[in-house]
Structure 1
């Protein structure tokens, strides 16, 4: 059985542009500067159905594990275990992850907000090598 591919946080609408902005201007990634960049709240609302401020106001369940407070690779590993890739192309945690961690965690666990629609992976995306199987079957058919 193959594992479903991870959903990439950076692929959600608007997050890649903000990640690039944080690369050019590191203060964008600092949660203390969130009020200076309204596009952060807009992107979070569009992706998760709630802003970072709304996420902070949500009453967390008693068994909440505070996944959003982890650092570095502990954070990326925890999200990966839940089906999300929160790294960049170099496999480093996203610069903007402090803004997205809590809204994403709340939405993926069904506590508050919602996750954007993701279509079911097709045969080639599922990692079961469907194309190669079809080519082999075609070759066997032609030999008959």
Structure 2
């Protein structure tokens, strides 16, 4: 499962929101431009742009209670909570962009490198066995 807090800049903003709760307020983007910069870097759009890009038949999933959104995000492979399973303080600044990107409506999901599969693990073991064979061939 991918974690929102692991995206570049989100953990830093979460720490700032812990120290200065004003960061987490809905209108904080005007005062703290790094929120929009983080959104653009991760999703390719800001919250204002995301609001303009919502289709006419949008189901309003971004307006559900936070606990319901957490469950819905988990169903599509995203964890939007902290280490103690509490919603991120900055969640409200990124939820719409993440919903639009997950559903393929607008924006983009940040790149995630592929995890090693069985073929990679097998190849690594084969290389280790070959090195051991060369060492023991006296």
TM-score tier by shorter-chain length is: 0.7 to 0.9
Asked whether 1:43 is paired with 2:38, we answer yes
Q: What are the superposed Cα offsets for residues 79-105 of structure 1, whole Å, 9 maximum, x if unpaired?
A: 111110000010111000000000011
Which residue does 1:19 correspond to in 2? 14
Give the match for residue 119 of structure 1.
113
Report the aligned-residue RMSD.
1.9
Structure 1 alignment gaps of length 5 or more = 1-5, 125-129, 135-144
Q: Distance in 2 between matches of 1:83 and 1:61?
A: 26
TM-score by length of 1: 0.78
1:98 maps onto 2:88 in alignment: no
Task: Return 5+ residue gaps in structure 2 as ranges.
Answer: 126-138
Identify the range of structure 1 (82-91 vs 72-81) with the bigger mean alpha-carbon deviation.
72-81
Q: Does 1:29 align with 2:24?
A: yes
| 1:78 equivalenced with 2:72 (yes/no) | yes
For residue 27 of structure 2, give the secondary structure of its aligned residue in structure 1: helix
Distance 1:50 1:57 in 2: 10
Give the secondary-structure state (helix, strand or coil) at the position aligned to 1:115. Answer: coil
Segments of 4+ moved more than 4 angstroms? none
Corresponding residue number in structure 1 for 2:131 = none
C-alpha distance in 2 between matches for 1:45 and 1:21: 18
What is the TM-score with the length of structure 2 in the denominator?
Answer: 0.81
Q: Deviations over 1:12-46 (max 9, x none)?
A: 00000000001111111011222001000000000
For residues 66 and 105 of structure 2, what CA distance do their matches in structure 1 show?
Answer: 24
Aligned counterparts of 2:39 and 2:66: Cα–Cα separation in 1:
21
Aligned residues between the structures = 122
